[in-house]
Amino acid sequence: MLDLLAFGAHPDDVEIGVGGILAAHALQGYACGIIDLTAGEMASNGTVSQRRAEGREAARVLECVVRECLDLPDAALALDQEAVYLVAAALRQFRPRVVLSPYYQGDRHPDHNVAGELLRRAVYLSGLRRLPVEGEPFRPKQFYFYLLSVDILPDAIVDISAVYNRKEQALDAHRTQFGQDCSEQVATLINNSCYRRYIRNRDAYFGSLTGVEYGEGLIFNNRPLVKDIIDWSGLV
């Protein structure tokens, strides 16, 4: 059983959107994990085996106890029954208290939008007793979306200032995606230094909205029930 399980369409999505949140909660003793929906096989740089190794290294940096890949098709992620059932089976297997997913609207990469819709459906259906998926019915206590290439204000901001170096180390682990280590590497949006600056600046902006150095934003799928607004500490 995990406390926090983050899903990404590709092997570096989770690190970009909520790498700091995972690191911060892992250091507090929570059991955190990552599930990649695809192996990122359509990326301009890096082989599947390289990307899996990079993902394992990034998970180690973030102190996640689980990293798995569902091997759905990259660049062809679809909201179909097979994909929904695979995600539902993962939810039943790991039974996370909190699930994080890419936001489902407005992202430049279609897979990110589909991933959000896929998680929305699977989180609900995994709780149905008659769903023909292995494992006992299960729904997480909370389900939040995170931002990749969507520039909107989040509903909540989590302070990741103390672990920001771990987030950057986790991104550095994805050398084939964010580095330009060899002449054979194809220039892309994300291996341009401007992209890492964009991530850092956005995290700094979110942090500044709440008076901290760095923050990562979350969007609520369903509004949390708050019984005491004086003592409620939000998500951190």
**Tens digit of each residue's pLDDT (9 = 90 or more) over 204-222:** 999 999 999 999 999 998 8
Lowest average pLDDT, out of 89-93, 177-181, 189-193, 198-202, goes to 177-181
pLDDT at position 193 over 90:
no
CATH number of 4-220: 3.40.50.10320
Task: Quote the CA–CA distance of 72 and 49 in Å, as a whole number.
Answer: 15
Residue 234 pLDDT grade (very low, low, confident, very high; cuts 50, 70, 90): low
Mean pLDDT of the chain, nearest integer: 94
Residue 235 confidence (pLDDT): 64
| Per-residue pLDDT at 217 | 97
Residue 229 confidence (pLDDT): 72
pLDDT tens, 24-78?
A: 999 999 999 999 999 999 999 999 999 999 999 999 999 999 999 999 999 999 9
Domain ranges within the chain, ordered by starting residue: 4-220
Assign 236 a pLDDT band (cuts: 50, 70, 90): low
pLDDT per position as a tens digit, 111-152? 999 999 999 999 999 999 999 999 999 999 999 999 999 999
